[in-house]
Structure 1
Amino acid sequence: MKMSTKGRYSVTALYELALHYGEGPVALKCVAQSQGLSENYLEQLMVPLRRAGLVKSIRGAQGGYMLGREPREITIGAIITTVEGPIAVVDCLLAEAGAEDQPCERACACVTRGIWEKVCDSISEVLDSITLQTLMDNDGSRKHVGCGR
């Protein structure tokens, strides 16, 4: 399984918003510059994140984005599944999660299916155990830098 830029950028962008939690909205341009990401791509990613309640958008000259919940309440797993969909290392598990129309014909007799289920469960368990607050607490090298508007 390889994480796409959607998942990586989303986690990075929300991490930046977490660093500014409680300070009001942060311009997406600031997030993009601070983290070295494409502002246009971030705009696209914010749509599903906003719909899921992970971020809020504020319009206007002093507008921008802010977390929809406290950093300790937003898991990396929630961010990734919001933009990527269900976590599955093989297609047959996607069908089970409703992401594909056709379930695997051999699911009942598949010798390796249990292995892939355990792998997916382990990945989900790790991602769901890490919050944005965890990332901030573990990143002693990162200094909080204000963002000019």
Structure 2
Amino acid sequence: MKISKKCRYGLRALIDLSANAENEYMVLGSIAERNGISPQYLEQVFAALRRAGIVKGIKGSQGGYRLNVDPKKLTVSEIIETLDGNYQIEEEEVPEDIHGRGVAVSIQKLVIDRLNEELQQILTDITLDDLRKSYLDNKEYDQDMYYI
């Protein structure tokens, strides 16, 4: 599985939004600038997030975006599905011959199904709030580093 650039940018922007704009609207340009993301590309990402109800946007001079869901309840799985659709590994194609069918079923059961189950478990266990907390911990750690 490969996480697309759209998902990576979406996750980065949502972490930024949850860490820097608690119940406030934040201009997309400032999120883009802090994260090194093209504002035009980020607008496309936020359009998908807005359609899914994850963020709320207001137009105008006082406008911007804010989270529309509780970060403790928003899972990484939901974010990836919103931005990329199904992230699970596709099922093994089952050939017609008996030997090939047995091999395909074995691969499906012992590899693909298990990978999908673990992937699902991991991505549903991690919330946006977990990512935000980790980001804030790492941000504090980086600020305490002194170099000579």
Counterparts of residues 49-64 of structure 1 (less than 5 Å): 49-64=49-64
Aligned to 1:128: 124
CA displacement, residues 95-123 of structure 1 (integer Å, 9 cap, x when unaligned) = xxxxxxxxx45497522112212101211
SS of the equivalent of 2:47 reads: helix
Q: CA deviation at 1:21?
A: 3.9
Q: CA deviation at 1:12?
A: 0.5
Question: Quick check: 53-62 or 104-113, which moved more?
Answer: 104-113
SS of the equivalent of 1:141 reads: helix
User: C-alpha root-mean-square deviation of aligned residues, in Å?
Assistant: 2.0
Aligned to 2:139: 142
Identity across aligned pairs (percent)?
32
Aligned to 2:8: 8
1:48 maps to amino acid? A
Using the alignment, how far apart are the partners of 2:134 and 2:44 within structure 1?
28
Residue pair 2:23, 2:67 contacting (<8 A) in 1 also: no
CA displacement, residues 71-95 of structure 1 (integer Å, 9 cap, x when unaligned) = 1111111111111111122x437xx
Q: TM-score, normalised by structure 2?
A: 0.80
SS of the equivalent of 1:112 reads: helix
SS of the equivalent of 1:72 reads: coil
Structure showing greater radius of gyration is 2
Moved over 6 A (4+): none
1:125 maps to amino acid? Q
Counterparts of residues 64-75 of structure 1 (less than 5 Å): 64-75=64-75
Using the alignment, how far apart are the partners of 2:88 and 2:123 within structure 1?
13
Using the alignment, how far apart are the partners of 1:67 and 1:36 within structure 2?
20
Q: TM-score, normalised by structure 1?
A: 0.79
Unaligned runs of 5+ in 2: 141-148
